[in-house]
């Protein structure tokens, strides 16, 4: 059986490239060292998506995502993944319009929290991801309490992501600042953290994190690979939900 073609809808270069590299490297464990599913990538200019996110223009962002999905499908994509968290606020505007399965990073990550037995999960990401409730409802629906960083903590994480990690300027101090926030969240009772920014795994690893975490970027890549290698072309892989629930 030929693997299905994975379409990566990129928003940032760092998040999209980590997702791409993970699919290829994980394929080595399952296939021959020189084999991986076909992968196609479309990445609109970041200034377009960033402006729409800043203005909370969900219909506009949805239209941009739909355009990218169309381009990916036109060159063979059989499943779409978008290694970006905050953009899923616009999910109700693009998921139903996708002609192929769309694998939601939010639903996949919330399911992973259940599978790992977490009960109080903190959310890190850009400001809107932490403050706007992106993960709170999906976690609540699964019986998990969301722990939201304080305003000060959100400011630290958002600044580090926007000014250091996304433009590929991360240093050792970048990691230390995020670790400091995770330590505070642990002190307030969090038993895990969702790295709800696809660039955070670049600076947060198991070796430095005070808490276990959900690496949304690599998790999404793993689930896309599972789908690409399965024979059944149905809408689910294990407990994965493809269509992000409307909010």
- Specify the pLDDT at position 240: 40
Between CA 39 and CA 67 the distance in angstroms is 18
60 and 151 co-located in one domain: no
- Specify the pLDDT at position 31: 76
Q: What is the DSSP letter of 83?
A: -
Domain that holds residue 63: 6-105+217-229
- Specify the pLDDT at position 241: 41
| Tens-digit pLDDT string for the chain (247 aa) | 788 999 999 999 889 999 999 999 989 887 777 789 999 999 999 999 999 999 999 999 999 999 999 999 999 999 999 999 999 999 999 998 999 999 999 999 999 999 999 999 999 999 999 988 999 999 999 999 999 999 999 999 999 999 999 888 998 899 999 999 999 999 999 999 999 998 899 999 999 999 999 999 999 999 999 999 986 444 444 334 444 333 3
- Specify the pLDDT at position 33: 74
177 and 201 co-located in one domain: yes
198 and 115 co-located in one domain: yes
**Are β-strands 120-124 and 79-81 bridged in parallel, bridged antiparallel, or unpaired?**
unpaired
**Number of domains into which the chain is organized:** 2
112 and 209 co-located in one domain: yes
Contact 122, 185 (CB under 8 A): yes
CA dihedral (218, 220, 222, 227) in degrees, to 10, reads: -170
Query: What CATH number does residue 89 fall under?
Result: 3.40.50.1860
- Specify the pLDDT at position 233: 41
Q: Cβ contacts of residue 205 below 8 Å, gap of 6+?
A: none
- If DSSP codes are grouped into helix, strand and coil, which group holds residue 79? strand
125 closest CA partner among 214, 33, 210, 41? 214
Task: List the structure tokens of 80.
Answer: 């779409």
Task: Output the CA angle 240-217-177, nearest 5 degrees.
Answer: 135
Q: Is residue 247 in some structural domain? A: no
- Specify the pLDDT at position 159: 95
- Specify the pLDDT at position 118: 98
From residue 1, alpha-carbon distances to 20, 38, 72, 96, 215 in Å are 21, 13, 22, 28, 29
């Amino acid at each position: 059986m030929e693997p299905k073609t994975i379409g990566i809808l990129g928003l940032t270069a760092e998040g999209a490239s980590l997702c791409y590299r993970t699919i290829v490297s994980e394929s080595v464990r399952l296939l021959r060292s020189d084999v991986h599913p076909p992968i196609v990538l479309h990445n609109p200019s970041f200034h377009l998506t960033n402006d729409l996110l800043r203005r909370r223009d969900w219909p506009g962002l949805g239209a941009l995502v739909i355009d990218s999905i169309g381009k990916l499908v036109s060159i063979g994509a059989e499943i779409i993944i978008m290694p970006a968290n905050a953009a899923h606020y616009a999910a109700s505007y693009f998921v139903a319009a996708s002609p192929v399965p769309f694998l939601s990073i939010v639903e996949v990550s919330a399911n992973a929290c259940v599978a790992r037995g977490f009960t109080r999960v903190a959310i890190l990401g850009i400001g809107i991801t932490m403050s706007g409730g992106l993960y709170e409802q999906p976690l609540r629906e699964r019986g998990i309490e969301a722990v939201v960083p304080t305003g000060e903590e959100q400011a630290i994480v958002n600044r580090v992501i926007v000014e250091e990690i996304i433009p590929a300027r991360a240093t050792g101090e970048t990691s230390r600042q995020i670790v400091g926030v995770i330590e505070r969240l642990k002190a307030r009772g969090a038993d895990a953290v969702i790295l709800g920014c696809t660039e955070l795994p670049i600076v947060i690893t198991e070796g430095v994190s005070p808490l276990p975490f959900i690496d949304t970027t690599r998790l999404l890549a793993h689930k896309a690979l599972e789908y690409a290698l399965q024979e059944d072309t149905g809408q689910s892989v294990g407990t994965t939900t493809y269509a992000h629930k409307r909010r």
